[in-house]
Chain A
């Protein structure tokens, strides 16, 4: 065990050391500045605006953290990179990936949940054959086989439909088959695919099926650190959260400025789409328990329901120990008043 730690630490040191090397020179006064990195779950976009705002405005620096934000990509598991120490912090897939990682023995801990409710919905055409969840039976549905399929199964089971009775297919990157009505029901994140569908089909021509309406919740976009960081550098975790919360509050208070910061980094993005994304992300991040307790609250009930769902469908071998996987102690150090919008 010690051996393995050492190897991983060596790997991490090599990687972090290199990053440190490429970093620009720091002001001489900032001697106790700590280098750290945040790995996102995807490329730079408004979904992560708060972190970029905090970086741009120097909130991490104020807390003594010299933060690098590393974008993610397909098949790039944030859990993996955080567990090995290649990145200090991670904004990972969501409760689903945290559970899968814990189930496989990865030493990571969730320190905050961004999207309080399921960020995706199921969408059908208003003039099509699907008007209620009960209509899903026998219809062609596309979804992501990465957790969303289990949410769908649970929703179907609640209305007495055997998921096998629906024609559930893997969803490709494009929603065009749905727009062309080759598919009856499509899965869409509120902040990305739904925008594209709205643009092409028209917002008023769509039925949305929200998992929460069927009593299923699947919070996503989780902040994670390694167990080692959580145990050895609790103050670093706390400072990171404090700066991040500040960045997010600014982003929501001044959306135009936040989008400007994002567009500066990724100029080929569609501004209108990014504006839509930020306003949807705001809804997701301030929903549920976060409306009272503030940003990044860990709602143990919602998280627990996702845990049971994944265990029920055999994605994880057994329910994960919630208190070990989700550690509220860091985010709770920041008073709810400071975290509320």
Chain B
């Protein structure tokens, strides 16, 4: 609680200002959508190239249940994959930082692992992980961990070795140095990576749903793509964008709570 008060104090804005700040993006969004609507009608752009925003909205409203179910399912997969990817990413960074030899042996392979197009191995994924939510979360995890490792390592490298020396001279153990010095120093970079990882995890979940499933945004997308249902493609794009923005906001919120040195604002 004190965190949010401090945050508000930091910004030193009036409640009305805060409401305006929250509403502003929505206002702009409404203006933007209206402009697109007018442009599409004015230039008679055919729906195959760009359907009217109102058509997309009514597309979603025609079967809201399907989109909601898809949203929920994809959210679960993404959340699982994202959490696993973040934890694994940080742990690997700690391991690589602690044992340089391991980093030099295996870090290149981490990079290589990201070059493997998962969508070419649908059958192998189904074979190993079945047709479960877990299988999708695995792909989501696989796609999201690398930026976390890279940025955490970068954050670690920004620690002043003299401070480490100092802590050690006071008898601090490795675990303490990690908790007190390295992890806090890596937080700003880590959060950049987590924001990236949240979108990557969503991509992973959606692609994972292409390996034979009945619910999920990925299924809706695929169906719309191959039936040339352009309104359906856009409807799914809009819903995934909302999900992605939600996840991003969650990470940003956590960042503001945890990392409060934002520099000049």
Binding site for B on A (CB under 8 A): 11, 14-15, 18-19, 22, 39-40, 42-45, 70-77, 80-81, 84, 86, 173-176, 179, 192-193, 196, 200, 265-270, 273
Contacts and interface: CB of A to CB of B under 8 A. Distances in A.
A70 B131 contact: yes
Which of A11, A44, A70 has the most CB atoms of chain B within a 10 A radius of its CB? A70
A268 B232 contact: yes
A74 B210 contact: yes
Interface in B191-249: 210-214, 219-220, 222-229, 232
Given A15-B127, A176-B48, A270 B132 contact: no
B214 A71 contact: yes
A269 to B, nearest CB: 7
A267 B127 contact: no
Contacts of A176: 48, 228
B236 to A, nearest CB: 9
Q: Which of A45, A75, A175 has the most CB of B within 10 A?
A: A75
A75 B132 contact: no
Q: Name the prevailing secondary structure of the B interface residues.
A: helix
A18 to B, nearest CB: 5
Given A19-B131, A72-B212, 10 more contacts: A11-B127, A71-B214, A73-B213, A74-B222, A75-B121, A75-B122, A81-B123, A86-B123, A196-B227, A267-B63
Contact of A76 (B212, B219, B226, B227): B212
Across chains A and B, which 7 residue pairs bring their CB atoms closest together, nearest first? A80-B123, A76-B122, A73-B210, A267-B63, A267-B66, A196-B228, A71-B212
Nearest to B236: A268
Contacts of A196: 227-228
A267 B222 CA distance: 14
Contacts of A81: 123, 126-127
B190 to A, nearest CB: 34
Given A73-B210, A76-B212, A81-B127, A173 B66 contact: no
Contact of B224 (A39, A179, A268): A268
Interface string B20-57: 00000000000000000000000000001000000000
Given A267-B63, A267-B66, A192 B227 contact: yes
Contacts of B210: 73-76
B59 to A, nearest CB: 8
17 contacts: A43-B214, A44-B214, A70-B131, A71-B214, A74-B119, A74-B210, A75-B120, A76-B122, A76-B123, A76-B126, A81-B126, A173-B226, A175-B228, A196-B227, A268-B67, A268-B232, A270-B227
B161 interface: no
Contacts of A45: 223
Contacts of B3: none
Query: Could you say which of A42, A193, A270, A273 has the most chain B C-beta atoms within 10 Å of its C-beta?
Result: A270
A190 B244 CA distance: 37
Contact of B223 (A15, A70, A179, A269): A269
A113 B220 CA distance: 29
Contact of B225 (A173, A265, A267): A173
B127 A273 contact: no
Interface in B90-148: 119-123, 126-128, 130-132
Contacts of B227: 192, 196, 269-270, 273
B259 to A, nearest CB: 40
A190 to B, nearest CB: 15
A43 B219 contact: yes
Name the prevailing secondary structure of the A interface residues.
Answer: loop
Contacts of A70: 131, 212
Interface of B: 48, 63, 65-67, 119-123, 126-128, 130-132, 210-214, 219-220, 222-229, 232
B65 A267 contact: yes
Contacts of A267: 63, 65-66
A306 to B, nearest CB: 23
Given A71-B213, A75-B122, A76-B123, A18 B65 contact: no
Nearest to B228: A196
Nearest to A87: B126
A81 B66 CA distance: 28
A73 B224 contact: no
B211 A265 contact: no
A22 B134 CA distance: 13
- With a 10 A CB-CB cut-off, give which of B122, B127, B213, B220 has the most chain A CB atoms: B127
Given A75-B120, A81-B123, A84-B127, A268 B211 contact: no
Contacts of A269: 223, 227
Contact of B130 (A19, A39, A72): A19
Most buried by B among A45, A76, A192, A196: A76
A81 B212 CA distance: 11
Contacts of B131: 19, 70
Contacts of B224: 268
Contacts of A71: 212-214, 219
A176 B132 CA distance: 35
Contacts of A11: 127-128
B222 A43 contact: yes
A215 to B, nearest CB: 30
Contact of A73 (B48, B127, B212, B232): B212
A273 B65 CA distance: 21
Contacts of B119: 74-75
Nearest to B62: A268
